[in-house]
A and B are shown apart, each in its own frame.
Chain A
């Protein structure tokens, strides 16, 4: 059982950071809604708020790791330029997609949107975590702060979903491959 370094980084970027970040949204959105629902009596003290704050900070860290690993580790491999005369474009995903009209829009629309829209998520979630930590349930007091917190959290989810979905499709049509091999387990035969 072996894996290449590029495969490993792609998995870390997409599944280790990105998917975990996206999975965390359901809990975050429900808890943000719960703590800020106007009909809920004011009772959350500092100790009760701490898990949500840690949860949101963890999401912020995952979001930044996702976009930074994507842009500065995986993306350069994706957009690598093949030497002149290269026929097999398997190691050059961008060029591979652009080489056919049947796949070119996966790059022109999918990757072009994904590479930018994903960055909205960490910006939005950093704000959500900061405001939630600073104001806690009081985000309902300045009445519309709750609207912004929930709205931006939802927008971060949408941005992540777009980036994640296109990432999965792109990895299917033109996976990032290559690099040195890491042997995880030796089989008997």
Chain B
């Protein structure tokens, strides 16, 4: 079944794969944002490497890479799961865990705790 056929189907008939791909990719994007923010803060070398645009500093690299990871993983998962039914409870658990990683690793006191500061 191609994409055009998928779009003509009613929402009830579309497999949950594309939705699961979007949900998991959002989780991956949020987790990547937290991880990149953390490594940018923990390592001076990586912090400098993430400085893609000097006026904005390492925030430019952190957010640009997180967006690329999010969109890249969404493309890959969408292609893989386009016609599949997947176990949503597992996808949800992973996505919410990654979302929590995103929140925690952007919270400066938690970053400091992990770095032993």
Measured CB to CB, the residues of A under 8 A from B are 67, 71-72, 75-76, 79, 108-109, 112-113, 115-117, 119-120, 123-124, 126-127, 130-131, 134-139, 141-145, 147-149, 151-152, 155, 158-159
Contacts and interface: CB of A to CB of B under 8 A. Distances in A.
Interface of B: 10-12, 14, 16, 18-20, 22-23, 25-26, 29-30, 33-34, 37, 41, 53, 55-57, 59-60, 62-63, 66-67, 70, 85, 88-89, 91-92, 95-96, 99, 102-103, 106-109
Contact of B59 (A116, A136, A147): A116
Nearest to A143: B88
Given A145-B88, A151-B96, A131 B33 contact: no
B37 A116 contact: yes
Nearest to B93: A144
Contacts of A126: 26
Dominant secondary structure at the B interface: helix
A152 B98 CA distance: 11
Nearest to A114: B106
Question: What are the 10 tightest A-B residue pairs by CB atom distance, in nearest-first order?
Answer: A76-B55, A142-B16, A127-B26, A116-B106, A138-B11, A144-B88, A116-B37, A148-B23, A112-B108, A123-B29
A149 to B, nearest CB: 8
Contact of B103 (A76, A120, A134, A151): A120
A79 B57 contact: yes
Contacts of B37: 116
Given A123-B29, A124-B30, A127-B26, A138 B63 contact: no
Contacts of B99: 120, 124, 151-152, 155
